[in-house]
C-alpha cells in the first residue's frame, strides 16, 4: 500500500529525515517509536503533505504512484489521514460543518454527488457514539476550547467519518487519561480492517497495549535503526533508547 | 470649472426649478448648506477625518447632477438585487428618480413613501420642521452638499406602538445612461415609541460607468424603539459611495446597523450616533471583504450623553490584492454619561501582500464610572489551520474560504432576516470565488 524509499526531508535547509525506508501493507499496524527530535512528527507531516517540510531525496509511493507532487487535500482524497499531535482550533466552524465539508470535498474530487444530508447526520451520530463523544461537541467550533483529550477524540471521530486507507496517529496518546485512551484505542481497533493500515507514532509503549502493532520501528536521528515485532516496544520501555545508539 | 464650482452653479438651477413646491424653511436649510459646502469644499487628506481616504480619485470626473431623461428599468433586470423571496415594502429610485413601478409604498400602518412628497405636502410640515436635517451634521461639508440637494429619498414615519412585520427595502439604482453621474439621496426615518422596524439599503449601479453616490440618512429612534438596519454594498468597480448615517436615540431604544461592504471602488461609511436618552443600546457591526484596488473606510462615532448607555461595535475586514481599509471608531462619553458600557473590536486579515488597513480607536471619556474597551487585530491566514483543513480533503481555495467565512461569521450571525442572511452568505461565496453553502 505505502512504500517509503530513501526519504530525506528537512526544514529551512536543516535535514531531519535522513533516508527512511518503510513498507506498509493492507491490514497492518506499524508503530514508530523514538526519542524526542528523532523525526517522528516530520515523517507524518511529510506523508500528509505539509509544505513546511521539503523533500530533498527519495519517494513516498501510495498504491504504486508517487504522492510527493500531490497537495494535502489530494492525498486525503487518496485515503491518507493524519491524526494531529496538536489539532488546530478553528473558531467559527462547527465540527459537524467541517466534517460535512471535508466529506463532500472528497466526493466532489471523486466525481460523486454530495452525501445525502440525512444519512450524513446519521453517520455523524453513529461515529460520535462509537467514540463516546458528547454530542454537544459536534455543534461547537472545531477544537475551540476543547481539552487535550477531547481534541484527540475528535481526531479519531474525523478518521471514523473519512474512512481512510492509511491512518497516521501522531502521538494520539499524549493528553489522554487512561479511560479516554481506552475509548480512543477501542475506536481505532473497530475501524481496522483487512484493507486499511495504521501507523502509530508514539513516544511511549503505553498506547501499544491497546493498539497492538504488527511491526515496531525505532526512529533515531532521522533513520529507522531497528525494526521488529511488538516485543520490541516492551524492550524499549524497559531499556530506553540508549542501547540502540 | 471644477466640481465644487459646478455643484454650486447647479444648486441655483435646482433651487429655481423646485422653488414653488417646497416650504421656505427647507429652502433656508438648503441655502445654508450650500454656503457651508462652498466655504469648506470637499475634504482633503489634510483633514484628520480623511487622512487615510483620499477623495481625489472620485472627484476628478465631470459629474452630471440631474438625469436629463427619466430612465426606466425592467424588473427582470434588477430582481436579483431585491430580497424578492419575502414580503416587504420597497422604495426604489432609478438615477435619483422615484420608480413607482418598482416600489411598494404605504400610508396605512405607517408612512413609507418619498421624501419629495413629504417635503411638499402640508400635512407633513410639522414632522419635517421637527426632524428634517436635525440629526445631520452640517459642519461636515459633504453632508452639507447632500442637504443642499436634498429632495429625493425615502421618508419613513412609523407611529408609536407599531411593529412592522415586513422589512423595508431601499434600493437606489443607477443606469449609467449618463456616463458620469453623481447622486445625492436623502432618507428620513422616524420610529415612534415601542415601534420596531427592519430596513435594508442598497446602492447599485447597473453599468460599468462612473457613479458617485453621496447619501445621507437621518434616523430618529423614540423610546423603546427597535431598529435593525442593514447596508449591503456590493456595487460595480466604478461606483463609489460616501454614506452618512446619523442616528438619534431616546430612552431604552435599540439601534443596530450592520454594514456589508464587498464591492465598489471607494466606500466611506460614516455612522454617527447620539445617545439622547438613558438605558439605550447601539450595535454597529460590519464585514468588509475587498480585493484589487478597492477601498473601504468605516468611520463610526458614538456619543454617549446620558446614563446607562451601551454600545457594541464589531468590524471585521478581509483585504486581498492592493485593497486598503480604514476603521476609525470614535467614542465620546460625556461627564453625565455614568455607567456607560462601550466596547469596540476591529479584526482584520490581510491576504494581499500589498493590502493594508489603518485602524484607529479614539476614546474620549469624561465620566469616571464607565466600562470602555477597544481592541484591534491584524493577522494573516494561519498556515497551520490551512494544512489542517487541507489534510482533511478540503482543497486550498475552499479551505481559505472556510477560514475567512468563519472569521466573519460572528457578524453574519447577527442578521435577523433569514432571506438576507442567505443572500449575504451567497455574496460572500461569490466574493471568495467558491461554490460553498457555509452551513454553520
List, for residues B312-369, the tens digit of each pLDDT value: 999 999 999 999 999 999 999 999 999 999 999 999 999 999 999 999 999 999 999 9
Q: Quick one: pLDDT band at residue B22, thresholds 50, 70, 90?
A: low
Tell me, yes or no, whether B387 lies in a domain: no
In tens, the pLDDT along B384-414 reads 999 999 999 999 999 999 999 999 999 999 9
Structurally, chain A folds into a number of domains equal to: 1
Provide, as residue numbers in chain A, all residues whose Cβ is less than 8 Å from the Cβ of B403: 90, 93
Q: What is the mean pLDDT of residues B246-271?
A: 97
CB nearest to A90's CB, from B385, B390, B436: B385
Q: What is the pLDDT of residue B183?
A: 94
In tens, the pLDDT along A75-93 reads 999 999 999 999 999 988 8
Provide, as residue numbers in chain B, all residues whose Cβ is less than 8 Å from the Cβ of A72: 387, 390-391
Tell me, yes or no, whether B239 lies in a domain: yes
Q: What is the mean pLDDT of residues B203-209?
A: 92
Poorest-confidence range of A36-40, B125-129, B215-219?
A36-40
When comparing pLDDT for B303 and A174, which is higher?
B303
Q: What is the pLDDT of residue B68?
A: 64
SS (H, E, C) B231-275: EEECCCCCEEEEEEEEEEECCCCEEEEEEEECCCCEEEEEEEEEE
Q: Does A73 contact B406 at a Cβ distance shorter than 8 Å?
A: no
Residue A189, domain extent: 2-244
* % pLDDT > 70, chain B: 97
Q: Does A48 contact B391 at a Cβ distance shorter than 8 Å?
A: yes
Q: What is the pLDDT of residue B14?
A: 82
Q: What is the pLDDT of residue B20?
A: 57
Q: What is the pLDDT of residue A62?
A: 94
Q: What is the mean pLDDT of residues B113-138?
A: 92
What size, in residues, is chain B?
A: 440
CA distances to A22, A170, A172, A216, A217 from A221, rounded to whole Å, are 16, 18, 22, 16, 13
Residues 6+ apart with CB under 8 A from A234: A205
Tell me, yes or no, whether B90 lies in a domain: yes
In a mutational test of the A interface, the residue from B391, B400, B410 whose CB has the highest number of chain A CBs within 10 Å is B391
Residues 6+ apart with CB under 8 A from B106: B89, B112, B113
By C-alpha distance, the chain A residue nearest B390 is A73
Poorest-confidence range of A82-91, A224-233, B228-237, B285-294?
A224-233
Residue B237, domain extent: 3-277
Q: What is the pLDDT of residue B67?
A: 67
Sheet of strand A14-24, all strands in order from the earlier edge strand to the far edge: A14-24, A2-11, A54-62, A65-66
By C-alpha distance, the chain A residue nearest B437 is A101
Q: Does A93 contact B392 at a Cβ distance shorter than 8 Å?
A: no
In whole angstroms, give the CA distance from residue B435 to residue B421. Answer: 16
Is residue B413 domain-shared with residue B266, that is, in the same domain? Answer: no
CB nearest to B410's CB, from A49, A82, A92: A92
Is residue B74 domain-shared with residue B223, that is, in the same domain? Answer: yes
Poorest-confidence range of A50-64, A98-112, B61-75, B367-381?
B61-75
In whole angstroms, give the CA distance from residue B327 to residue B333. Answer: 19
| DSSP secondary structure, A82-107, as one string | EE-SSPPPEEEEEHHHHHHHHHHHHH
What's the complex ipTM? 0.95
Among candidate residues A28, A42, A40, A49, the one with its CA nearest the CA of residue B392: A49
pLDDT for residue B18 is more than 70: no
pLDDT for residue A235 is more than 90: no
Residues 6+ apart with CB under 8 A from A74: A49, A67, A109
Domain boundary among B247, B277, B307: B277
Could you give the angle at the alpha carbon of B316 between the alpha carbons of B312 and B319, nearest 5°? 160
Q: What is the mean pLDDT of residues B287-310?
A: 97
**CB of B12 within 8 A of CB of B148?**
no
Is residue B271 domain-shared with residue B404, that is, in the same domain? Answer: no
DSSP-based three-state secondary structure for B176: coil
Q: What is the pLDDT of residue B271?
A: 98
Tell me, yes or no, whether B258 lies in a domain: yes
* % pLDDT > 90, chain B: 83
Average pLDDT, chain B: 93
Among candidate residues A98, A102, A76, the one with its CA nearest the CA of residue A165: A76
Tell me, yes or no, whether B330 lies in a domain: no
In tens, the pLDDT along B64-90 reads 887 666 777 888 889 999 998 899 999
Among candidate residues A147, A161, A153, A162, the one with its CA nearest the CA of residue A186: A153
Domain boundary among B277, B309, B331: B277
Structurally, chain B folds into a number of domains equal to: 2
CATH number at A95 reads 3.40.50.300
Among candidate residues A228, A220, A223, A222, the one with its CA nearest the CA of residue A244: A220
Q: Does A76 contact B392 at a Cβ distance shorter than 8 Å?
A: yes
Burial of A140 (0-12, 13-18, 19+ CB in 10 A): middle
Provide, as residue numbers in chain A, all residues whose Cβ is less than 8 Å from the Cβ of B316: none
Q: pTM of the full predicted structure?
A: 0.90
Average pLDDT, chain A: 90
Residues of A with CB under 8 A from a CB of B: 48-52, 71-73, 75-77, 81-82, 84, 87-88, 90-94, 97-103, 105-106, 109, 141, 158, 162
Exposure string (b/e) for B253-271, b if CB count within 10 Å is 16 or more? Answer: bbbbbbbbbbbbbbbbbbb
Provide, as residue numbers in chain A, all residues whose Cβ is less than 8 Å from the Cβ of B439: 97, 100
Tell me, yes or no, whether B390 lies in a domain: no
Q: Does B399 contact A158 at a Cβ distance shorter than 8 Å?
A: no
Alpha helices in B132-234 (DSSP H): 141-148
Q: What is the mean pLDDT of residues B110-134?
A: 92
Q: Which cell is B24 given?
A: 421656505
pLDDT for residue B439 is more than 80: no
Q: What is the mean pLDDT of residues A59-66?
A: 94
pLDDT for residue A167 is more than 90: yes
In whole angstroms, give the CA distance from residue B207 to residue B236. Answer: 7
Q: Does B403 contact A90 at a Cβ distance shorter than 8 Å?
A: yes
Angstroms from A242 CA to nearest CA on chain B: 33
Amino acid at each position: 500500500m505505502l512504500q517509503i524509499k530513501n526519504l530525506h526531508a528537512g526544514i529551512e535547509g536543516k535535514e531531519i529525515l535522513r533516508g527512511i525506508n518503510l513498507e506498509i501493507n493492507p491490514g497492518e499496524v506499524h508503530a514508530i517509536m523514538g526519542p524526542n527530535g528523532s523525526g517522528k512528527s516530520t515523517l507524518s507531516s511529510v506523508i500528509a503533505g505539509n509544505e513546511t517540510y521539503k523533500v530533498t531525496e527519495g519517494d513516498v509511493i501510495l498504491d504504486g504512484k508517487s504522492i510527493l507532487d500531490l497537495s494535502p487535500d489530494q492525498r486525503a482524497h487518496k485515503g491518507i489521514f493524519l491524526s494531529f499531535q496538536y489539532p488546530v482550533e478553528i473558531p467559527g466552524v462547527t465540527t459537524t460543518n467541517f466534517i460535512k465539508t471535508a466529506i463532500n470535498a472528497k466526493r466532489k474530487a471523486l466525481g460523486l454527488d454530495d452525501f445525502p444530508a440525512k444519512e450524513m447526520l446519521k453517520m455523524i451520530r453513529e461515529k460520535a457514539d462509537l467514540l463516546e463523544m458528547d454530542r454537544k461537541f459536534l455543534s461547537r467550533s472545531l477544537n475551540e476550547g476543547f481539552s487535550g483529550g477531547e481534541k484527540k477524540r475528535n481526531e479519531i471521530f474525523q478518521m471514523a467519518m473519512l474512512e481512510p486507507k492509511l491512518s497516521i496517529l501522531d502521538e494520539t496518546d499524549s493528553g489522554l487519561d487512561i479511560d479516554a485512551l481506552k475509548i480512543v484505542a477501542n475506536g481505532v481497533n473497530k475501524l481496522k480492517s483487512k484493507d486499511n493500515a495504521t501507523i502509530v507514532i508514539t513516544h511511549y509503549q503505553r498506547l501499544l497495549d491497546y493498539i497492538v502493532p504488527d511491526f515496531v520501528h525505532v526512529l533515531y536521528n532521522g533513520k529507522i535503526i531497528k525494526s521488529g515485532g511488538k516485543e520490541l516496544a516492551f524492550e524499549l520501555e524497559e531499556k530506553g533508547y540508549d542501547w540502540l545508539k | 470649472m471644477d466640481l465644487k464650482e459646478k455643484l454650486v452653479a447647479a444648486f441655483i438651477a435646482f433651487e429655481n426649478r423646485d422653488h414653488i413646491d417646497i416650504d421656505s424653511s427647507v429652502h433656508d436649510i438648503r441655502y445654508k448648506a450650500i454656503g457651508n459646502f462652498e466655504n469648506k469644499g470637499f475634504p482633503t487628506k489634510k483633514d484628520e477625518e480623511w487622512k487615510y481616504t483620499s477623495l481625489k480619485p472620485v472627484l476628478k470626473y465631470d459629474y452630471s447632477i440631474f438625469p436629463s431623461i427619466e430612465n426606466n428599468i425592467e424588473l427582470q433586470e434588477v430582481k436579483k438585487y431585491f430580497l424578492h423571496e419575502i414580503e416587504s415594502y420597497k422604495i426604489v429610485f432609478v438615477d435619483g428618480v422615484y420608480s413607482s413601478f418598482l416600489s411598494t409604498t404605504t400610508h396605512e400602518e405607517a408612512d413609507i413613501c418619498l421624501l419629495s412628497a413629504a417635503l411638499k405636502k402640508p400635512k407633513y410640515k410639522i414632522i419635517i420642521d421637527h426632524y428634517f436635517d436635525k440629526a445631520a451634521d452640517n459642519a461636515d461639508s459633504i453632508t452639507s452638499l447632500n442637504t443642499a440637494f436634498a429632495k429625493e429619498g425615502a421618508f419613513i414615519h412609523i407611529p408609536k406602538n407599531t411593529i412592522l412585520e415586513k422589512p423595508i427595502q431601499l434600493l437606489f439604482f443607477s443606469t449609467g445612461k449618463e456616463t458620469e453621474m453623481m447622486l445625492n439621496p436623502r432618507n428620513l426615518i422616524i420610529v415612534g415609541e415601542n415601534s420596531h422596524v427592519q430596513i435594508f439599503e442598497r446602492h447599485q449601479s447597473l453599468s460599468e460607468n462612473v457613479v458617485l453616490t453621496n447619501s445621507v440618512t437621518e434616523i430618529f429612534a423614540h423610546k423603546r424603539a427597535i431598529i435593525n438596519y442593514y447596508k449591503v454594498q456590493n456595487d460595480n468597480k466604478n461606483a463609489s459611495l460616501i454614506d452618512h448615517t446619523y442616528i438619534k436615540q431616546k430612552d431604552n431604544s435599540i439601534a443596530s446597523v450592520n454594514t456589508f461592504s464587498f464591492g465598489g471602488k471607494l466606500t466611506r461609511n460614516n455612522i454617527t450616533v447620539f445617545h439622547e436618552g438613558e438605558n439605550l443600546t447601539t450595535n454597529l457591526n460590519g464585514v468588509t471583504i475587498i480585493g484589487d484596488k478597492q477601498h473601504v473606510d468605516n468611520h463610526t462615532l458614538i456619543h454617549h450623553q446620558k446614563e446607562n448607555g451601551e454600545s457594541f461595535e464589531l468590524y471585521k475586514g478581509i483585504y486581498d490584492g492592493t485593497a486598503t481599509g480604514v476603521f476609525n471608531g470614535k467614542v465620546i462619553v460625556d461627564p453625565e454619561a455614568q455607567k456607560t458600557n462601550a466596547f469596540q473590536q476591529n479584526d482584520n486579515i490581510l491576504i494581499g501582500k500589498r493590502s493594508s488597513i489603518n485602524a484607529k480607536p479614539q476614546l474620549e471619556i469624561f465620566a469616571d464610572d464607565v466600562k470602555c474597551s477597544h481592541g484591534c487585530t491584524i493577522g494573516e491566514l494561519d498556515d497551520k489551520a490551512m494544512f489542517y483543513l487541507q489534510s482533511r480533503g478540503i482543497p486550498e481555495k475552499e479551505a481559505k474560504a472556510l477560514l475567512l467565512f468563519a472569521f466573519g461569521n460572528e457578524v453574519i450571525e447577527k442578521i435577523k432576516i433569514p432571506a438576507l442572511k442567505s443572500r449575504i452568505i451567497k455574496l460572500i461565496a461569490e466574493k471568495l470565488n467558491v461554490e460553498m453553502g457555509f452551513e454553520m
